[in-house]
C-alpha cells in the first residue's frame, strides 16, 4: 500500500522536541522502521538556505550507508553516474527508513523531479553524496554537540518511532531547529513531494556490516598500488624525456662547443699577452664544463654496462678521501675515517662492483660535503656492514638540507643551493650508480649537517 506525503501540511500543529510525549502516555503507536544504531556519531553536512544553516546528526546507520556510497563512487572513478546496483540501493533505502535525520537530510538536499519515490531518492542521493561531503563548507561553522543537543536528538528519535515514515517530513522542523533557526513556511512549501512505500526493505543478514571495513581496506590497498604504478610510470617517462633531451643536447651543443674549444686553443697558442691567455683558458675550461654536464646527463639517461671487479670498500674510501686532502686543508676542513663500532674497516668483505663508478659516487658525496661546509668544518667517513648491506657513510658539519632540497636532491638540475649545497647532476649521478648496483643512496639531516649513505647489497659480494 502506498501513501502520498504532500509537503508541507501548513495547518499542522507544531510540537517542540523538549515537550514530546512522556513515557507511559496513551498515544497510539504506529508502524515505524526505526531500528538500533541511531545514536549520534557526528554531523551530516550542513543544510543551507541563504545565510541560514541547519545541522542533522550522523548516526552509525547513516555513516555505514554513506561509507559504502563513497566507496562505490570511488570505484566508478570516471565522473559518470552509472545505474545504482540494486543491493546498494536497497541498503540506502533501509538506512533512510530507519534513520529520520538521514531521511530528512536526503529529502532536503534532493533537487530532482517530483514527486519522487524512495528508490529514486536513494539513487539521487547516492550519486550526489560525494560532492556534498567533499564540499569546502560542508562542516564550516559546525556547532559543538553538547549533552543538551544529544538529549533532544534522543527524544526526537523516540518520538519518530511512533509515527510512520510517510509523516516524518511533517515533523522535520523539530530536527532542524535543534541546531538551527526556525524553519520558515516559505521554505517548507518548497520541500519535494515524497511517495513512501509502506513495505520496509529487508534487513541485511547478520554480520554484514563488517564487510564495509574490508571494502575500505581493499580500496586503500588499491589506491596505494595505483600510486606506486603512477610513480613507476612517471619515473619511466622522466627517464625517457631526459634520454631524448640528452641525445639532442649531445648532437646540437657538443658540436659548437668543440668548435669554440678548438678555436680558443688555436688563439691561445699564438697569444703572448698573459691576460688574454688566461681569458682564453677560462673559455676552454667552461667548454669542458658544459661538455661534462651533457655527459652526466647522458650517463643518467643511458648509463653504460657495469664492469664488475673485486674491490674493498675501505680501500676505495681511503683512496678518494686522500685525493681531497690538499683542498680540505686549504679550507680548514678535517676529513677523518671513523673506525668506531664494529671495526668495519678491518673486516669489511670484498665486493664485486664497478670500481670506477663506486669511486665516482664516493667522490661526489665528499665533494658535496666540502661545498656544504665551505670552510672550517669536519667530514666523517665510515663503513657499516651487516649480513644484508654494506653502507658507505659520509657525514658533514655543514648547514644541512632543507625539506625541499631533501625531497628533490636526486632530480637532475634541481637547484638546492640555498643550503650551500650543489644538488645538480652530481648527486643525481651518484644515485644512478647506486641503483645500477641494486643499492640505494639516501640523504638525511644529522645532529649537525647532512648524512649521505651509499648502500650496496651484500648479495653482490664475492
**Of the residues 204, 229, 263, the one at which a domain ends:** 204
Furthest CA-CA distance within the chain: 119
Question: pTM of whole model > 0.75?
Answer: no
Where residue 209 falls among pLDDT bands split at 50, 70, 90? low
Instruction: Lowest mean pLDDT of 96-105, 183-192, 305-314, name the range.
Output: 305-314
**DSSP labels for 234-301?**
HHHHHHHHHHHHHHHHHHHTHHHHHHHHHHHHHHHHT---HHHHHHHHHHHHHHHHHHHHHHHHHHHH
DSSP alpha helices (H): ranges in 47-85?
60-76
CB 373 within 8 A of CB 422: no
- Four-residue CA torsion sign, 180, 183, 186, 189: positive
Q: Which helix (H) or strand (E) holds 188?
A: helix 185-189
Does the pLDDT of residue 218 top 80, yes or no?
Answer: no
Where residue 282 falls among pLDDT bands split at 50, 70, 90? very high
The residues, ordered by sequence, that sit 6+ positions from 145 with a Cβ below 8 Å of its Cβ are 40, 42, 43, 57
Q: What is the mean pLDDT of residues 322-347?
A: 77
CB 306 within 8 A of CB 356: no
Mark whether 55 and 114 lie in a shared domain. Answer: yes
Domain membership flag for residue 327:
yes
Does the pLDDT of residue 6 top 60, yes or no?
Answer: no
Where residue 414 falls among pLDDT bands split at 50, 70, 90? low
Beta strands in 172-220 (DSSP E): 194-197
CB 174 within 8 A of CB 16: yes
Domain membership flag for residue 103:
yes
Q: Considering only residues 79 and 285, tell me which one the structure prediction assigns the higher pLDDT.
A: 285
Mark whether 123 and 228 lie in a shared domain. Answer: no
Where residue 58 falls among pLDDT bands split at 50, 70, 90? very high
Instruction: Lowest mean pLDDT of 118-132, 201-215, 319-333, 392-406, name the range.
Output: 201-215
CB 352 within 8 A of CB 308: yes
**DSSP labels for 378-414?**
EEEEEEEE-SSEEEEEEEE-S----HHHHHHTTSTT-
Where residue 98 falls among pLDDT bands split at 50, 70, 90? very high
Does the pLDDT of residue 210 top 80, yes or no?
Answer: no
Mean pLDDT score of the chain, rounded to an integer?
80
Long-range contacts of 223-230 (CB under 8 A, 24+ apart): none
List, for residues 246-268, the tens digit of each pLDDT value. 777 777 788 888 899 899 999 98
Provide the number of structural domains found in the chain. 3
Where residue 431 falls among pLDDT bands split at 50, 70, 90? confident
* pLDDT of 22: 43
Q: Considering only residues 61 and 35, tell me which one the structure prediction assigns the higher pLDDT.
A: 61
Mark whether 229 and 154 lie in a shared domain. Answer: no
Supply the CATH number for residue 252's domain: 1.10.287
Q: What is the mean pLDDT of residues 290-297?
A: 78
Rounded Cα distance between 101 and 182, Å, is 17
The residues, ordered by sequence, that sit 6+ positions from 217 with a Cβ below 8 Å of its Cβ are none
Where residue 30 falls among pLDDT bands split at 50, 70, 90? very low
Instruction: Lowest mean pLDDT of 127-131, 205-209, 214-218, 233-237, name the range.
Output: 205-209
Q: What is the mean pLDDT of residues 376-393?
A: 89
Mark whether 31 and 104 lie in a shared domain. Answer: yes
Domain membership flag for residue 216:
no
Mark whether 146 and 103 lie in a shared domain. Answer: yes
Residues spanned by the domain of 100 = 2-204
Mark whether 194 and 330 lie in a shared domain. Answer: no
Mark whether 340 and 285 lie in a shared domain. Answer: no
Supply the CATH number for residue 397's domain: 3.30.565.10
**DSSP labels for 78-146?**
SS--PPPPHHHHHHHHHHHHH-HHHHHHHHHH--S-SSEEHHHHHHHHHHHHHHHHH-TTSSTTPPP--
Domain membership flag for residue 248:
yes
Q: Considering only residues 220 and 376, tell me which one the structure prediction assigns the higher pLDDT.
A: 376
Q: Which residues pair with 59 in a beta bridge?
A: 40
Torsion of CA 94, 96, 99, 102, to 10 degrees: 150
CB 449 within 8 A of CB 394: no
Does the pLDDT of residue 15 top 50, yes or no?
Answer: no
Mark whether 344 and 280 lie in a shared domain. Answer: no
**Of the residues 301, 322, 339, the one at which a domain ends:** 301
* pLDDT of 230: 84
Q: Taking the mean position of all CA atoms in its chain, how far away is CA 318?
A: 42
Q: What is the mean pLDDT of residues 96-117?
A: 94
Rounded Cα distance between 117 and 429, Å, is 65
Domain membership flag for residue 211:
no
Q: Which helix (H) or strand (E) holds 310?
A: strand 308-311
Mark whether 350 and 413 lie in a shared domain. Answer: yes
* pLDDT of 323: 92
Q: For the packed helices 118-134 and 100-109, what is the interaxial angle rounded to 10 degrees?
A: 80
Where residue 229 falls among pLDDT bands split at 50, 70, 90? confident
Mark whether 18 and 137 lie in a shared domain. Answer: yes
Amino acid at each position: 500500500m502506498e501513501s502520498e506525503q504532500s509537503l508541507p501540511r501548513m495547518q499542522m500543529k507544531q510540537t517542540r522536541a523538549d515537550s514530546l510525549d512522556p513515557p507511559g502516555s496513551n498515544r497510539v503507536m504506529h508502524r515505524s522502521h526505526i531500528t538500533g544504531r541511531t545514536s549520534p556519531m557526528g554531523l551530516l553536512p550542513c543544510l543551507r538556505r541563504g545565510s541560514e544553516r541547519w545541522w542533522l546528526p550522523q548516526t552509525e546507520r547513516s555513516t555505514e550507508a554513506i561509507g559504502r556510497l563513497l566507496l562505490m563512487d570511488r570505484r566508478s572513478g570516471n565522473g559518470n553516474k552509472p545505474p545504482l546496483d540494486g543491493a546498494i540501493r536497497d541498503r540506502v533505502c533501509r538506512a533512510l527508513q530507519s534513520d529520520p535525520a538521514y531521511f530528512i537530510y536526503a529529502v532536503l538536499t534532493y533537487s530532482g523531479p517530483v514527486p519522487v519515490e524512495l528508490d529514486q531518492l536513494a539513487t539521487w542521493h547516492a550519486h550526489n553524496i560525494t560532492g556534498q561531503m567533499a564540499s569546502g563548507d560542508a562542516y564550516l561553522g559546525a556547532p559543538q554537540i553538547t549533552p543538551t543537543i544529544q538529549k533532544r536528538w534522543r527524544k526526537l528519535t523516540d518520538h519518530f518511532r511512533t509515527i510512520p515514515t510517510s509523516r516524518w517530513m511533517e515533523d522535520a522542523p523539530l530536527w532542524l531547529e535543534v541546531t538551527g533557526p526556525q524553519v520558515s513556511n516559505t521554505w517548507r512549501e518548497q520541500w519535494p513531494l515524497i511517495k513512501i512505500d509502506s513495505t520496509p526493505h529487508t534487513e541485511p543478514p547478520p554480520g554484514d556490516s563488517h564487510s564495509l571495513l574490508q571494502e575500505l581496506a581493499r580500496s586503500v590497498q588499491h589506491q596505494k598500488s595505483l600510486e606506486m604504478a603512477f610513480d613507476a610510470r612517471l619515473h619511466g617517462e622522466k627517464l625517457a624525456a631526459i634520454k631524448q633531451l640528452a641525445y639532442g643536447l649531445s648532437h646540437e651543443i657538443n658540436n659548437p662547443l668543440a668548435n669554440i674549444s678548438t678555436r680558443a686553443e688555436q688563439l691561445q697558442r699564438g697569444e703572448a699577452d698573459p691576460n688574454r691567455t688566461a681569458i682564453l683558458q677560462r673559455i676552454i675550461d667552461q667548454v669542458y664544463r658544459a661538455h661534462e654536464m651533457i655527459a652526466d646527463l647522458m650517463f643518467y639517461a643511458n648509463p653504460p654496462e657495469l664492469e664488475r671487479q673485486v674491490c674493498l670498500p675501505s680501500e676505495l674510501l681511503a683512496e678518494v678521501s686522500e685525493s681531497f686532502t690538499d683542498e680540505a686543508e686549504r679550507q680548514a676542513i678535517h676529513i677523518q675515517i671513523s673506525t668506531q663500532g664494529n671495526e668495519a674497516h678491518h673486516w669489511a668483505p670484498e665486493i664485486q662492483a664497478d670500481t670506477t663508478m663506486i669511486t665516482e659516487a664516493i667522490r661526489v658525496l665528499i665533494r658535496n660535503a666540502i661545498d656544504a661546509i665551505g670552510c672550517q668544518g669536519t667530514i666523517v667517513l665510515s663503513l657499516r656492514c651487516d649480513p644484508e648491506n654494506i653502507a658507505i657513510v659520509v657525514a658533514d658539519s655543514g648547514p644541512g638540507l632543507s625539506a625541499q632540497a631533501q625531497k628533490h636532491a636526486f632530480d637532475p638540475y634541481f637547484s638546492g643551493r640555498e643550503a650551500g649545497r650543489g644538488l645538480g647532476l652530481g648527486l643525481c649521478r651518484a644515485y644512478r650508480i647506486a641503483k645500477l648496483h641494486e643499492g640505494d643512496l639516501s640523504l638525511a639531516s644529522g645532529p649537525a649537517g647532512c648524512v649521505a649513505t651509499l648502500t650496496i647489497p651484500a648479495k653482490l659480494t664475492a
